[in-house]
Structure 1
Amino acid sequence: MLLYSALFLCTLITFNGGVVSSPLTQQELFSKIGNYHMLANKDASTLKNAQKPEIYEEYLARDCRAAFLRGRKENGLYVIRPKYSPLLAVYCDMEYDGGGWTVLHKNEVNQKAPWSNTWDAYKRGFGDLLGNHWLGNEFIHLLTNQNAFTVRFLIVDSNGKTKNADYHSFKVDSEDNGYALRLGNYSGNAGDALTTVGESGVHDNMRFSSQDRDNDRRSDTNCALDNAGGWWYDNCYSALLTSDNHIRWKGLCTEVSSCKLAAILIRPNGQNCNLSSRY
Protein backbone atom coordinates (compact mmCIF):
# COMPACT_ATOMS: atom_id res chain seq x y z
CA MET A 1 0.00 0.00 0.00
CA LEU A 2 2.82 2.37 0.84
CA LEU A 3 4.56 1.67 -2.49
CA TYR A 4 1.29 2.17 -4.38
CA SER A 5 0.73 5.52 -2.64
CA ALA A 6 4.23 6.69 -3.52
CA LEU A 7 3.79 5.72 -7.17
CA PHE A 8 0.41 7.47 -7.28
CA LEU A 9 1.96 10.62 -5.82
CA CYS A 10 4.72 10.54 -8.44
CA THR A 11 2.08 10.20 -11.15
CA LEU A 12 0.19 13.21 -9.82
CA ILE A 13 3.37 15.27 -9.76
CA THR A 14 4.26 14.19 -13.29
CA PHE A 15 0.95 14.93 -14.97
CA ASN A 16 -0.24 17.92 -12.97
CA GLY A 17 2.82 20.14 -13.24
CA GLY A 18 1.02 23.12 -14.77
CA VAL A 19 -0.27 24.46 -18.05
CA VAL A 20 1.53 23.32 -21.19
CA SER A 21 2.86 26.23 -23.23
CA SER A 22 2.99 26.58 -27.00
CA PRO A 23 5.40 24.27 -28.84
CA LEU A 24 8.86 25.43 -29.84
CA THR A 25 10.49 24.98 -33.22
CA GLN A 26 13.86 23.25 -33.25
CA GLN A 27 15.69 26.56 -33.55
CA GLU A 28 13.63 28.17 -30.78
CA LEU A 29 14.45 25.21 -28.55
CA PHE A 30 18.11 25.46 -29.47
CA SER A 31 18.18 29.17 -28.56
CA LYS A 32 17.04 28.37 -25.00
CA ILE A 33 19.86 25.90 -24.23
CA GLY A 34 21.98 27.39 -21.44
CA ASN A 35 25.22 25.67 -22.46
CA TYR A 36 24.87 26.02 -26.24
CA HIS A 37 28.54 27.09 -26.34
CA MET A 38 29.48 23.44 -25.60
CA LEU A 39 27.90 22.14 -28.79
CA ALA A 40 30.49 21.83 -31.53
CA ASN A 41 27.74 21.49 -34.14
CA LYS A 42 25.26 24.25 -33.33
CA ASP A 43 22.28 22.59 -34.94
CA ALA A 44 19.29 21.25 -33.01
CA SER A 45 19.18 18.24 -35.34
CA THR A 46 22.21 16.86 -33.46
CA LEU A 47 20.03 16.40 -30.35
CA LYS A 48 18.47 12.91 -30.20
CA ASN A 49 15.20 14.08 -28.64
CA ALA A 50 14.71 17.23 -30.74
CA GLN A 51 13.95 15.67 -34.11
CA LYS A 52 10.29 16.65 -34.21
CA PRO A 53 9.46 19.96 -35.95
CA GLU A 54 7.74 21.16 -32.76
CA ILE A 55 8.84 20.42 -29.20
CA TYR A 56 6.93 20.99 -25.96
CA GLU A 57 9.44 22.24 -23.40
CA GLU A 58 7.39 20.86 -20.49
CA TYR A 59 7.75 17.32 -21.81
CA LEU A 60 11.55 17.30 -21.95
CA ALA A 61 13.31 14.88 -19.61
CA ARG A 62 14.71 16.06 -16.28
CA ASP A 63 17.85 13.95 -16.87
CA CYS A 64 19.10 11.09 -19.00
CA ARG A 65 17.52 8.42 -16.81
CA ALA A 66 14.08 9.96 -17.30
CA ALA A 67 14.64 9.94 -21.07
CA PHE A 68 15.80 6.31 -20.88
CA LEU A 69 12.66 5.25 -18.99
CA ARG A 70 10.55 6.76 -21.76
CA GLY A 71 12.23 4.59 -24.38
CA ARG A 72 15.34 6.53 -25.37
CA LYS A 73 18.06 3.88 -25.69
CA GLU A 74 20.60 5.51 -28.04
CA ASN A 75 23.82 7.14 -26.81
CA GLY A 76 24.32 10.75 -27.80
CA LEU A 77 23.35 14.35 -27.15
CA TYR A 78 20.01 15.16 -25.58
CA VAL A 79 18.38 18.34 -24.34
CA ILE A 80 17.09 18.07 -20.76
CA ARG A 81 15.11 20.38 -18.50
CA PRO A 82 16.29 20.17 -14.88
CA LYS A 83 14.02 21.84 -12.36
CA TYR A 84 14.80 25.55 -11.84
CA SER A 85 17.46 25.39 -14.57
CA PRO A 86 17.82 26.55 -18.15
CA LEU A 87 17.56 23.84 -20.76
CA LEU A 88 20.79 21.87 -20.98
CA ALA A 89 22.49 19.87 -23.69
CA VAL A 90 24.13 16.78 -22.21
CA TYR A 91 25.69 13.55 -23.37
CA CYS A 92 23.56 10.57 -22.30
CA ASP A 93 25.07 7.10 -22.06
CA MET A 94 22.08 4.85 -22.59
CA GLU A 95 24.00 1.57 -22.95
CA TYR A 96 26.58 1.39 -20.16
CA ASP A 97 25.59 -0.59 -17.05
CA GLY A 98 21.81 -0.25 -17.26
CA GLY A 99 21.74 3.05 -19.15
CA GLY A 100 20.40 6.46 -18.22
CA TRP A 101 23.70 8.07 -17.22
CA THR A 102 24.11 11.86 -17.52
CA VAL A 103 27.77 12.65 -18.24
CA LEU A 104 29.15 15.62 -16.28
CA HIS A 105 32.79 15.35 -17.28
CA LYS A 106 35.11 13.49 -19.60
CA ASN A 107 38.89 13.61 -19.87
CA GLU A 108 40.64 11.42 -22.42
CA VAL A 109 44.34 12.13 -22.19
CA ASN A 110 45.00 12.02 -25.94
CA GLN A 111 42.48 14.84 -26.43
CA LYS A 112 43.14 18.36 -25.20
CA ALA A 113 40.84 20.55 -23.13
CA PRO A 114 41.53 23.81 -21.25
CA TRP A 115 41.50 22.30 -17.76
CA SER A 116 43.69 25.13 -16.47
CA ASN A 117 40.82 27.57 -16.50
CA THR A 118 39.02 30.33 -14.59
CA TRP A 119 36.25 30.19 -12.02
CA ASP A 120 33.78 31.57 -14.55
CA ALA A 121 34.73 28.94 -17.14
CA TYR A 122 34.21 26.11 -14.64
CA LYS A 123 30.93 27.75 -13.61
CA ARG A 124 29.55 27.96 -17.16
CA GLY A 125 31.15 24.78 -18.50
CA PHE A 126 33.60 24.28 -21.35
CA GLY A 127 34.82 21.80 -23.93
CA ASP A 128 32.90 19.68 -26.44
CA LEU A 129 30.03 17.57 -25.09
CA LEU A 130 31.02 14.84 -27.54
CA GLY A 131 34.60 14.90 -26.27
CA ASN A 132 36.51 16.28 -23.29
CA HIS A 133 34.38 18.64 -21.26
CA TRP A 134 33.19 19.98 -17.89
CA LEU A 135 29.41 20.50 -17.82
CA GLY A 136 29.66 23.54 -15.53
CA ASN A 137 29.44 23.89 -11.75
CA GLU A 138 26.28 25.99 -11.86
CA PHE A 139 24.52 23.49 -14.09
CA ILE A 140 25.79 20.55 -12.01
CA HIS A 141 24.46 22.30 -8.90
CA LEU A 142 21.02 22.87 -10.43
CA LEU A 143 20.88 19.34 -11.85
CA THR A 144 21.89 17.55 -8.62
CA ASN A 145 19.56 19.59 -6.42
CA GLN A 146 16.39 18.50 -8.25
CA ASN A 147 16.68 14.84 -7.21
CA ALA A 148 18.76 12.35 -5.23
CA PHE A 149 21.62 11.12 -7.43
CA THR A 150 24.30 8.49 -7.31
CA VAL A 151 27.62 9.25 -9.01
CA ARG A 152 30.16 7.06 -10.77
CA PHE A 153 33.75 8.19 -11.22
CA LEU A 154 34.81 6.04 -14.17
CA ILE A 155 38.51 5.48 -14.83
CA VAL A 156 40.39 3.55 -17.51
CA ASP A 157 43.80 2.53 -16.19
CA SER A 158 47.12 2.18 -18.00
CA ASN A 159 46.25 -1.37 -19.06
CA GLY A 160 42.92 -0.32 -20.57
CA LYS A 161 40.87 -1.83 -17.73
CA THR A 162 37.81 0.12 -16.58
CA LYS A 163 37.47 0.80 -12.85
CA ASN A 164 34.79 2.69 -10.97
CA ALA A 165 34.24 4.53 -7.72
CA ASP A 166 30.54 4.93 -6.89
CA TYR A 167 29.07 7.17 -4.20
CA HIS A 168 25.47 6.55 -3.23
CA SER A 169 24.66 10.25 -3.04
CA PHE A 170 26.12 13.19 -4.95
CA LYS A 171 25.36 16.88 -4.80
CA VAL A 172 27.15 20.14 -5.55
CA ASP A 173 26.26 23.18 -3.44
CA SER A 174 25.49 26.65 -4.80
CA GLU A 175 28.11 29.21 -5.77
CA ASP A 176 27.52 31.01 -2.46
CA ASN A 177 28.97 27.92 -0.80
CA GLY A 178 31.79 27.55 -3.30
CA TYR A 179 30.17 24.68 -5.23
CA ALA A 180 31.14 22.37 -2.37
CA LEU A 181 31.13 18.63 -3.07
CA ARG A 182 28.78 16.36 -1.06
CA LEU A 183 29.24 12.59 -1.34
CA GLY A 184 27.62 9.52 0.22
CA ASN A 185 28.90 6.02 0.90
CA TYR A 186 31.52 4.51 -1.41
CA SER A 187 31.45 1.25 -3.38
CA GLY A 188 33.45 0.05 -6.39
CA ASN A 189 36.84 -1.31 -7.42
CA ALA A 190 38.86 1.87 -8.03
CA GLY A 191 39.38 2.67 -4.35
CA ASP A 192 37.90 5.49 -2.33
CA ALA A 193 40.07 8.50 -3.14
CA LEU A 194 37.46 11.15 -2.31
CA THR A 195 35.98 10.49 1.13
CA THR A 196 38.89 8.74 2.87
CA VAL A 197 41.09 11.13 4.88
CA GLY A 198 44.78 10.91 3.97
CA GLU A 199 47.91 13.02 3.89
CA SER A 200 46.34 15.12 1.12
CA GLY A 201 43.22 15.70 3.18
CA VAL A 202 39.78 14.73 1.91
CA HIS A 203 37.85 15.94 -1.14
CA ASP A 204 34.37 15.39 0.22
CA ASN A 205 32.81 18.63 1.56
CA MET A 206 35.56 20.77 0.03
CA ARG A 207 34.79 23.91 -1.97
CA PHE A 208 35.82 24.06 -5.61
CA SER A 209 39.08 25.84 -6.50
CA SER A 210 40.24 27.32 -9.79
CA GLN A 211 43.36 29.13 -10.92
CA ASP A 212 41.82 32.49 -9.94
CA ARG A 213 39.87 31.40 -6.82
CA ASP A 214 41.77 29.50 -4.14
CA ASN A 215 39.47 27.57 -1.77
CA ASP A 216 41.84 24.80 -0.74
CA ARG A 217 43.32 24.40 2.76
CA ARG A 218 46.93 24.94 1.73
CA SER A 219 48.29 28.28 2.95
CA ASP A 220 51.50 28.16 0.92
CA THR A 221 50.14 27.53 -2.58
CA ASN A 222 47.13 27.48 -4.90
CA CYS A 223 46.52 23.80 -5.70
CA ALA A 224 44.50 24.56 -8.84
CA LEU A 225 47.20 26.82 -10.24
CA ASP A 226 50.02 24.42 -9.38
CA ASN A 227 48.23 21.39 -10.84
CA ALA A 228 46.77 23.04 -13.94
CA GLY A 229 43.12 22.26 -13.29
CA GLY A 230 40.09 23.22 -11.21
CA TRP A 231 38.94 20.69 -8.60
CA TRP A 232 37.67 20.12 -5.05
CA TYR A 233 41.17 20.40 -3.57
CA ASP A 234 42.15 20.01 0.04
CA ASN A 235 45.90 19.61 0.61
CA CYS A 236 46.15 19.25 -2.44
CA TYR A 237 44.66 15.99 -3.78
CA SER A 238 44.42 12.22 -3.68
CA ALA A 239 42.32 12.32 -6.85
CA LEU A 240 42.44 14.78 -9.74
CA LEU A 241 40.53 14.20 -12.98
CA THR A 242 40.83 17.72 -14.42
CA SER A 243 44.41 18.58 -15.21
CA ASP A 244 46.32 19.65 -18.29
CA ASN A 245 49.07 17.27 -17.24
CA HIS A 246 47.60 14.00 -16.00
CA ILE A 247 44.78 11.99 -14.43
CA ARG A 248 45.30 10.98 -10.81
CA TRP A 249 43.46 8.56 -8.52
CA LYS A 250 45.18 7.29 -5.40
CA GLY A 251 46.47 3.74 -5.83
CA LEU A 252 45.33 3.54 -9.45
CA CYS A 253 46.56 6.51 -11.51
CA THR A 254 50.07 7.54 -10.54
CA GLU A 255 53.20 9.00 -12.12
CA VAL A 256 54.42 5.47 -12.78
CA SER A 257 51.07 4.08 -13.94
CA SER A 258 49.20 6.80 -15.81
CA CYS A 259 45.51 6.41 -16.62
CA LYS A 260 44.00 6.91 -20.07
CA LEU A 261 40.51 8.25 -19.40
CA ALA A 262 38.27 9.55 -16.63
CA ALA A 263 34.59 10.49 -16.59
CA ILE A 264 31.94 11.51 -14.06
CA LEU A 265 28.43 10.11 -14.60
CA ILE A 266 25.25 10.46 -12.53
CA ARG A 267 21.75 9.02 -12.42
CA PRO A 268 18.95 9.11 -9.80
CA ASN A 269 19.47 6.72 -6.89
CA GLY A 270 15.76 6.03 -6.47
CA GLN A 271 15.25 7.83 -3.17
CA ASN A 272 13.06 10.57 -4.70
CA CYS A 273 10.56 10.72 -7.53
CA ASN A 274 12.22 11.24 -10.88
CA LEU A 275 9.80 13.05 -13.17
CA SER A 276 9.35 11.40 -16.55
CA SER A 277 8.79 13.08 -19.90
CA ARG A 278 7.66 12.43 -23.45
CA TYR A 279 10.94 12.99 -25.28
Structure 2
Amino acid sequence: MTPKCQEDNPFIKLDELLSEIGNKHMLAKKDLVSLINAQKPVLYREFLARDCRAAFRRGRRQSGLYIIHPKYSPLLVVYCDMEYDGGGWTVLHRNVLSKKSQLWSNNWDAYKMGFGNLLGNHWFGNEFMHLLTRQNSFSVRFVIVDSNGQTKHADYHSFRVDGEEAGYALRLGNYSGNAGDALTSWGEAGIHDNMRFSTVDQDHDRRVTTNCALENGAGWWYDNCYSALLTSGNQIYWKGLCTEHSSCSLASIMIRPNGKNCNKS
Protein backbone atom coordinates (compact mmCIF):
# COMPACT_ATOMS: atom_id res chain seq x y z
CA MET A 1 0.00 0.00 0.00
CA THR A 2 1.30 3.47 -0.90
CA PRO A 3 1.60 5.63 2.21
CA LYS A 4 -0.35 8.87 2.34
CA CYS A 5 1.64 11.99 1.60
CA GLN A 6 2.27 14.42 4.41
CA GLU A 7 -0.35 16.90 3.16
CA ASP A 8 -3.04 14.15 3.26
CA ASN A 9 -2.35 13.56 6.94
CA PRO A 10 -4.17 16.24 8.99
CA PHE A 11 -2.12 15.55 12.12
CA ILE A 12 1.54 15.97 12.98
CA LYS A 13 3.18 14.28 15.92
CA LEU A 14 5.55 16.52 17.79
CA ASP A 15 8.40 14.05 17.45
CA GLU A 16 7.94 14.09 13.65
CA LEU A 17 7.59 17.85 13.35
CA LEU A 18 11.23 18.73 12.78
CA SER A 19 11.43 16.70 9.58
CA GLU A 20 8.67 18.82 8.00
CA ILE A 21 10.07 22.26 8.85
CA GLY A 22 11.63 23.85 5.77
CA ASN A 23 14.02 26.12 7.69
CA LYS A 24 14.87 23.83 10.60
CA HIS A 25 18.55 24.69 10.12
CA MET A 26 17.76 28.11 11.65
CA LEU A 27 16.52 26.66 14.93
CA ALA A 28 18.96 26.89 17.81
CA LYS A 29 17.10 24.23 19.81
CA LYS A 30 16.34 21.11 17.87
CA ASP A 31 14.02 19.82 20.62
CA LEU A 32 11.36 22.41 19.59
CA VAL A 33 10.98 23.59 23.18
CA SER A 34 11.02 27.22 22.12
CA LEU A 35 8.10 26.98 19.66
CA ILE A 36 5.15 28.71 21.30
CA ASN A 37 2.39 26.98 19.31
CA ALA A 38 3.92 23.50 19.36
CA GLN A 39 3.56 22.48 22.97
CA LYS A 40 1.07 19.63 22.48
CA PRO A 41 2.07 16.08 21.50
CA VAL A 42 -0.03 16.25 18.32
CA LEU A 43 -0.71 19.28 16.10
CA TYR A 44 -3.58 19.71 13.67
CA ARG A 45 -2.36 21.20 10.38
CA GLU A 46 -5.45 23.31 9.82
CA PHE A 47 -4.84 25.07 13.14
CA LEU A 48 -1.44 26.34 12.02
CA ALA A 49 -1.73 29.97 10.93
CA ARG A 50 -0.36 31.14 7.57
CA ASP A 51 1.49 34.08 9.08
CA CYS A 52 1.92 35.89 12.41
CA ARG A 53 -1.04 38.21 11.84
CA ALA A 54 -3.33 35.20 11.47
CA ALA A 55 -1.91 33.76 14.70
CA PHE A 56 -2.54 37.10 16.41
CA ARG A 57 -6.17 37.07 15.24
CA ARG A 58 -6.53 33.65 16.85
CA GLY A 59 -5.57 35.07 20.21
CA ARG A 60 -1.80 34.65 20.31
CA ARG A 61 -0.18 37.54 22.17
CA GLN A 62 3.26 36.25 23.12
CA SER A 63 6.22 37.28 20.95
CA GLY A 64 8.58 34.48 19.99
CA LEU A 65 8.98 31.53 17.64
CA TYR A 66 5.93 30.08 15.90
CA ILE A 67 5.32 27.39 13.33
CA ILE A 68 3.34 28.72 10.36
CA HIS A 69 2.05 26.98 7.26
CA PRO A 70 1.85 29.30 4.25
CA LYS A 71 -0.15 28.03 1.28
CA TYR A 72 1.85 25.76 -1.03
CA SER A 73 4.81 25.88 1.31
CA PRO A 74 6.50 23.58 3.80
CA LEU A 75 6.04 24.34 7.46
CA LEU A 76 8.21 27.25 8.52
CA VAL A 77 9.41 28.66 11.82
CA VAL A 78 9.29 32.45 12.15
CA TYR A 79 9.76 35.03 14.85
CA CYS A 80 6.42 36.74 15.52
CA ASP A 81 6.39 40.16 17.15
CA MET A 82 3.02 40.29 18.85
CA GLU A 83 3.61 43.52 20.80
CA TYR A 84 5.07 46.14 18.46
CA ASP A 85 2.55 48.57 16.92
CA GLY A 86 -0.54 46.39 17.03
CA GLY A 87 1.21 43.02 16.84
CA GLY A 88 1.06 40.29 14.23
CA TRP A 89 4.39 41.07 12.56
CA THR A 90 6.34 38.31 10.81
CA VAL A 91 10.04 39.15 11.11
CA LEU A 92 12.11 38.46 7.98
CA HIS A 93 15.43 39.99 8.98
CA ARG A 94 17.25 41.30 12.03
CA ASN A 95 20.71 42.81 12.26
CA VAL A 96 22.06 44.12 15.54
CA LEU A 97 25.34 45.57 14.41
CA SER A 98 28.46 43.97 15.86
CA LYS A 99 32.10 44.52 15.06
CA LYS A 100 33.12 43.05 11.69
CA SER A 101 30.51 40.27 11.66
CA GLN A 102 31.01 37.79 8.81
CA LEU A 103 27.44 36.47 9.07
CA TRP A 104 26.18 38.41 6.05
CA SER A 105 28.97 37.52 3.59
CA ASN A 106 27.06 34.52 2.30
CA ASN A 107 26.44 32.97 -1.10
CA TRP A 108 23.27 32.66 -3.18
CA ASP A 109 22.15 29.36 -1.68
CA ALA A 110 22.52 30.65 1.88
CA TYR A 111 20.44 33.76 1.17
CA LYS A 112 17.95 31.56 -0.66
CA MET A 113 17.30 29.21 2.25
CA GLY A 114 18.03 31.56 5.16
CA PHE A 115 20.71 31.66 7.84
CA GLY A 116 21.41 32.89 11.34
CA ASN A 117 19.41 32.46 14.52
CA LEU A 118 15.70 33.31 14.36
CA LEU A 119 15.93 34.68 17.91
CA GLY A 120 18.82 36.96 16.91
CA ASN A 121 20.53 38.13 13.74
CA HIS A 122 19.15 36.33 10.70
CA TRP A 123 17.94 36.38 7.10
CA PHE A 124 14.69 34.44 6.71
CA GLY A 125 15.52 33.23 3.21
CA ASN A 126 14.53 34.59 -0.20
CA GLU A 127 12.70 31.42 -1.19
CA PHE A 128 10.61 31.47 1.97
CA MET A 129 9.95 35.21 1.59
CA HIS A 130 8.64 34.39 -1.88
CA LEU A 131 6.42 31.55 -0.66
CA LEU A 132 5.08 33.67 2.18
CA THR A 133 4.34 36.82 0.18
CA ARG A 134 2.70 35.15 -2.80
CA GLN A 135 -0.22 33.88 -0.69
CA ASN A 136 -1.53 37.29 0.39
CA SER A 137 -1.08 41.05 0.00
CA PHE A 138 1.46 42.29 2.54
CA SER A 139 2.83 45.60 3.74
CA VAL A 140 6.40 45.84 5.02
CA ARG A 141 8.10 47.89 7.71
CA PHE A 142 11.83 48.56 7.77
CA VAL A 143 12.71 49.42 11.36
CA ILE A 144 16.01 51.23 11.97
CA VAL A 145 17.61 52.45 15.19
CA ASP A 146 19.90 55.38 14.42
CA SER A 147 23.22 56.28 16.02
CA ASN A 148 21.40 58.33 18.68
CA GLY A 149 19.23 55.40 19.73
CA GLN A 150 16.09 56.77 18.04
CA THR A 151 13.81 54.22 16.36
CA LYS A 152 12.64 55.14 12.86
CA HIS A 153 10.60 53.25 10.32
CA ALA A 154 9.88 53.13 6.60
CA ASP A 155 6.62 51.49 5.51
CA TYR A 156 5.81 50.32 1.99
CA HIS A 157 2.17 49.51 1.49
CA SER A 158 2.79 46.47 -0.65
CA PHE A 159 5.64 43.97 -0.47
CA ARG A 160 6.48 40.92 -2.52
CA VAL A 161 9.57 38.90 -3.34
CA ASP A 162 9.44 37.21 -6.75
CA GLY A 163 10.62 33.66 -7.34
CA GLU A 164 14.15 32.48 -8.05
CA GLU A 165 13.62 32.55 -11.81
CA ALA A 166 13.13 36.32 -11.46
CA GLY A 167 16.17 36.67 -9.20
CA TYR A 168 14.04 37.15 -6.07
CA ALA A 169 13.25 40.67 -7.25
CA LEU A 170 11.92 43.13 -4.68
CA ARG A 171 8.47 44.67 -5.27
CA LEU A 172 7.39 47.62 -3.15
CA GLY A 173 4.43 50.00 -3.02
CA ASN A 174 3.93 53.53 -1.74
CA TYR A 175 6.16 54.83 1.06
CA SER A 176 5.20 56.34 4.42
CA GLY A 177 7.10 56.75 7.69
CA ASN A 178 9.77 58.88 9.35
CA ALA A 179 12.99 57.22 8.18
CA GLY A 180 12.91 58.60 4.65
CA ASP A 181 12.34 56.71 1.41
CA ALA A 182 15.64 55.03 0.56
CA LEU A 183 14.20 52.19 -1.52
CA THR A 184 11.75 53.55 -4.11
CA SER A 185 13.16 57.03 -4.79
CA TRP A 186 15.84 57.50 -7.47
CA GLY A 187 19.26 58.71 -6.43
CA GLU A 188 22.92 58.46 -7.38
CA ALA A 189 22.88 54.79 -6.37
CA GLY A 190 19.82 54.06 -8.50
CA ILE A 191 16.74 52.45 -6.96
CA HIS A 192 16.18 49.27 -4.97
CA ASP A 193 12.55 48.67 -5.91
CA ASN A 194 12.21 46.03 -8.67
CA MET A 195 15.90 45.06 -8.41
CA ARG A 196 17.00 41.44 -8.44
CA PHE A 197 18.91 40.09 -5.44
CA SER A 198 22.71 39.94 -5.63
CA THR A 199 25.20 37.90 -3.62
CA VAL A 200 28.97 37.42 -3.68
CA ASP A 201 28.57 34.62 -6.26
CA GLN A 202 25.62 35.96 -8.29
CA ASP A 203 25.87 39.53 -9.54
CA HIS A 204 22.52 41.04 -10.61
CA ASP A 205 23.21 44.70 -9.89
CA ARG A 206 23.54 47.40 -12.55
CA ARG A 207 27.06 48.55 -11.70
CA VAL A 208 29.34 47.61 -14.56
CA THR A 209 32.73 47.81 -12.87
CA THR A 210 32.16 45.70 -9.76
CA ASN A 211 29.90 43.29 -7.89
CA CYS A 212 28.22 45.35 -5.16
CA ALA A 213 27.63 42.29 -2.97
CA LEU A 214 31.28 41.25 -3.17
CA GLU A 215 32.44 44.80 -2.56
CA ASN A 216 30.25 45.21 0.54
CA GLY A 217 30.36 41.64 1.84
CA ALA A 218 26.58 41.27 1.96
CA GLY A 219 23.68 40.12 -0.20
CA TRP A 220 21.02 42.72 -1.04
CA TRP A 221 18.74 44.17 -3.72
CA TYR A 222 21.54 46.32 -5.15
CA ASP A 223 21.36 48.74 -8.03
CA ASN A 224 24.44 51.00 -8.30
CA CYS A 225 25.17 50.05 -5.47
CA TYR A 226 22.85 51.16 -2.63
CA SER A 227 20.88 53.90 -0.94
CA ALA A 228 20.06 51.44 1.84
CA LEU A 229 21.99 48.42 3.08
CA LEU A 230 20.76 46.50 6.12
CA THR A 231 22.73 43.26 5.76
CA SER A 232 26.28 44.39 6.38
CA GLY A 233 28.38 43.49 9.39
CA ASN A 234 30.37 46.72 9.06
CA GLN A 235 27.55 49.26 8.89
CA ILE A 236 23.80 49.66 8.65
CA TYR A 237 23.08 52.33 6.06
CA TRP A 238 19.87 54.17 5.20
CA LYS A 239 20.20 57.30 3.08
CA GLY A 240 19.56 60.47 5.08
CA LEU A 241 19.46 58.60 8.39
CA CYS A 242 22.55 56.41 8.67
CA THR A 243 25.88 57.27 7.08
CA GLU A 244 29.32 55.72 6.74
CA HIS A 245 30.50 57.90 9.64
CA SER A 246 27.35 57.51 11.76
CA SER A 247 26.09 53.98 11.30
CA CYS A 248 22.77 52.87 12.68
CA SER A 249 22.85 50.17 15.34
CA LEU A 250 19.89 47.93 14.46
CA ALA A 251 17.73 47.09 11.47
CA SER A 252 14.84 44.71 10.96
CA ILE A 253 12.33 43.88 8.25
CA MET A 254 8.84 42.76 9.22
CA ILE A 255 5.61 42.19 7.32
CA ARG A 256 1.91 41.68 7.89
CA PRO A 257 -1.16 41.51 5.59
CA ASN A 258 -2.26 44.95 4.40
CA GLY A 259 -5.98 44.16 4.21
CA LYS A 260 -6.19 43.95 0.43
CA ASN A 261 -7.40 40.50 -0.63
CA CYS A 262 -6.62 39.56 2.95
CA ASN A 263 -6.83 35.89 3.87
CA LYS A 264 -7.53 35.91 7.61
CA SER A 265 -7.10 32.17 8.14
Query: Do these two structures clear the TM 0.5 threshold for a shared fold by scoring above it?
Result: yes
Distance in 1, matches of 2:10 and 2:209, equals 56
Tell whether the 8 Å contact from 2:82 to 2:89 is kept in structure 1 after alignment: yes
Per-residue CA deviations over 1:32-64 (Å, capped at 9, x if unaligned) read: 100000001112221000011110122200000
Distance in 2, matches of 1:94 and 1:46, equals 16
Distance in 2, matches of 1:36 and 1:29, equals 10
Q: CA deviation at 1:238?
A: 0.3
Per-residue CA deviations over 1:221-278 (Å, capped at 9, x if unaligned) read: 00000011000000000000001211000011102221000000000000013242xx
Tell whether the 8 Å contact from 1:64 to 1:80 is kept in structure 2 after alignment: yes
- The answer on 1:140 being equivalent to 2:120 is no
- The answer on 1:41 being equivalent to 2:26 is no
- Look up the SS of the partner of 2:33 in the other structure: helix
1:116 to 60, 82, 105: 105
1:139 partner amino acid: F
1:216 to 201, 205, 211: 205
Q: CA deviation at 1:22?
A: 4.0
- The answer on 1:272 being equivalent to 2:238 is no
Moved more, 21-30 or 45-54: 21-30
Q: CA deviation at 1:80?
A: 0.2
Per-residue CA deviations over 1:203-232 (Å, capped at 9, x if unaligned) read: 000000000000000110000000110000
Tell whether the 8 Å contact from 2:98 to 2:234 is kept in structure 1 after alignment: no
* Aligned ranges 1:62-77 → 2 under 5 Å: 62-77=50-65
Q: TM-score of the superposition, structure 1-length normalised?
A: 0.90
1:128 partner amino acid: N
- Look up the SS of the partner of 1:115 in the other structure: coil
Q: CA deviation at 1:20?
A: 7.4
Q: Tell me how many residue pairs correspond in the alignment.
A: 258
Q: Partner residue of 1:13? A: none
Unaligned runs of 5+ in 2: 1-6
Unaligned runs of 5+ in 1: 1-18
1:217 partner amino acid: R
- The answer on 1:56 being equivalent to 2:11 is no
Distance in 1, matches of 2:193 and 2:135, equals 20
1:253 to 216, 232, 242: 242
1:27 partner amino acid: D
* Aligned ranges 1:1-279 → 2 under 5 Å: 21-110=9-98, 112=101, 114-276=103-265
Distance in 2, matches of 1:254 and 1:272, equals 38
2:231 partner amino acid: T
State percent identity of aligned pairs. Answer: 72
Moved more, 21-30 or 50-59: 21-30
Q: CA deviation at 1:166?
A: 0.1
- Look up the SS of the partner of 2:254 in the other structure: strand
Tell whether the 8 Å contact from 1:163 to 1:189 is kept in structure 2 after alignment: yes
- Structure 1 residues 275 and 21, CA gap change in structure 2 (3 angstroms): farther
- Look up the SS of the partner of 1:67 in the other structure: helix
Q: Partner residue of 1:5? A: none
- Look up the SS of the partner of 1:226 in the other structure: helix
Query: Alignment RMSD, CA only?
Result: 1.3
- Look up the SS of the partner of 1:106 in the other structure: strand
